[in-house]
Amino acid sequence: MQQESRKNLGLLILVASLGYFVDIYDLVIFSIVRVKSFREIGVAEELLRTKGEFVINMQMFGLLIGGFIWGIIGDKYGRLKVLFGSILLYSLGNIANGFVHDVNTYAWIRLIAGIGLAGELGAGITLVSESMSKEKRGYGTMIVAGIGVLGAAAAYFVSEHFNWRNAYFVGGGMGLLLLLMRVGIFESGMFRSAELQHVAKGRFSMILTDRKRLMRYIYCLGIGLPLWYVVGILITQAPEIGKALSSTETLSAGKGIMIAYIGLSIGEVLAGLLAQLTRSRRFVMMVFHIVSLGIACLYLSSKGMDESKFATIAFFLGMSVGYWATFVTIASEQFGTNLRATVTTTAPNFIRGALIPITFAFEFFVARYGIIQAGYIMMFILSGLSLICTYKIRESFGLDLNYLEE
């Protein structure tokens, strides 16, 4: 019986890992093929950056909407329904992206794909967290993230060897194939027990109307702020930042994202192991925030860097923000079973969606101080907020998750 249980758990971790792999592939593919695809559909060179921000913001807005939809479904109807529904939606969305011929259609399809992408990570982490012992669940989420973020490297290699349209088709196809693997996994036992209880499930208003829950949720959001700024702006806008730094050659955003995500994958493993050794997720987050701030400052001060130096910095910058699984695990551990999927799904997507106001703030500072100074200002603001929230949030390592929010 125990052997069968371990087999089921192993399958669950494998499927969640591959699901996150495809999720990350589809999440970053636009950033990688932005320039190629825009040039082919006729976007003027001077509009590549601003139109790119428009499309990525539409995708992030979709993630924001999807976070609410899938989170509520996860707590009301089950984590598995989220895994099936979300991957089907974003797979079809990415296939549709391979047929676009104008920016507006491109953006609207990215929004739809974003809604689908919003459910994958939260449902997977929730299932793994609820299926493993409280002492060892950090290893499970570490494996999910460590494998999953390598989807970005796959996206880069596919984009290098195939047309950008085919890169979208590959992402959608992988998602549809993954649906077949999900037939063999089982629903969380904690969720099945909660189903029998007469308590509200997936009601986001329970967070807003209780001050302690609301502050816990705000702290969860705050601790993850710098990551998507680093990936979505500092690395995605590497060509423009490199130009401002008088780089000896044009820096490749696609290559930077690939290398950063390889570093991020290693960072995820290091963060997970460090949390298990120190028995503190808060300590890990503090260390990573301080290191990421230092490496971002090194990047923004590297005048005249070449592609090789950029690759090295991108690797360590990615490693320094390799706390995504730790962040999502903390969010999952802060709330009871009847709100856990809602929080674990909405929190990471709020952080992704936060890239929209962060982008507007970044552009505000760019207009006044230039792209390099804007990079410094935003990194210091976001890192400062994250450090405060990390200090304020309760330590969650080893907490028993089998409880309900009344």
330 pLDDT band (50/70/90 cuts)? Answer: very high
Task: Give CA–CA dist 225/377, Å, rounded.
Answer: 14
Q: How far apart are CA 221 and CA 346, in angstroms?
A: 9
pLDDT band at 4 (very low <50, low <70, confident <90, very high): very low
Token look-up 């680093």 returns 230
In the predicted model, what is the mean pLDDT of residues 259-287?
Answer: 92
- Domains of the chain as residue ranges with CATH: 2-177+207-392 (1.20.1250.20)
CA distance 233 to 402: 39
> How far is 189 from 148, CA to CA, in rounded Å?
24
Q: Any long-range contacts for 130-133 (C-beta under 8 Å, 24+ apart)?
A: 130/79, 130/188, 130/189, 130/190, 130/191, 130/337, 130/340, 130/401, 131/9, 131/12, 131/188, 131/189, 132/9
Average pLDDT on 128-144 reads 82
- Say how many Å lie between the first and final Cα of the chain, rounded: 34
Q: What is the mean pLDDT of residues 334-360?
A: 87
Instruction: Look at 249 and 136; give whichever has higher pLDDT.
Output: 249
Higher pLDDT, 236 or 376: 376
What's the token pair of residue 70? 């899938």
Q: Is residue 388 very low, low, confident or very high in pLDDT (cuts 50, 70, 90)?
A: very high
Least confident of 2-16, 60-74, 75-89, 316-330: 2-16
Confidence of residue 115 (pLDDT cuts 50, 70, 90): very high
More confident residue, 210 or 4: 210
Residue 84: pLDDT above 70? Answer: yes
The two structure tokens encoding residue 216: 């816990």
Q: How far apart are CA 320 and CA 110, in angstroms?
A: 28
How far is C-alpha 218 from the chain's CA centre?
Answer: 17
Instruction: Write out pLDDT tens, residues 281-317.
Output: 999 999 999 999 999 999 999 999 999 999 999 999 9
What pLDDT does residue 3 have? 44
Longest dimension (CA), the chain: 65
pLDDT tens figures, 60-78: 889 989 988 998 898 888 8
Output b/e per residue, 366-380; b: 16+ Cβ within 10 A: beeeebbebbebbbe
Q: What is the pLDDT of residue 1?
A: 34
Quote the pLDDT of residue 109.
Answer: 95
The confidence score (pLDDT) of residue 214 equals 94
**What DSSP state is assigned to residue 90?**
H
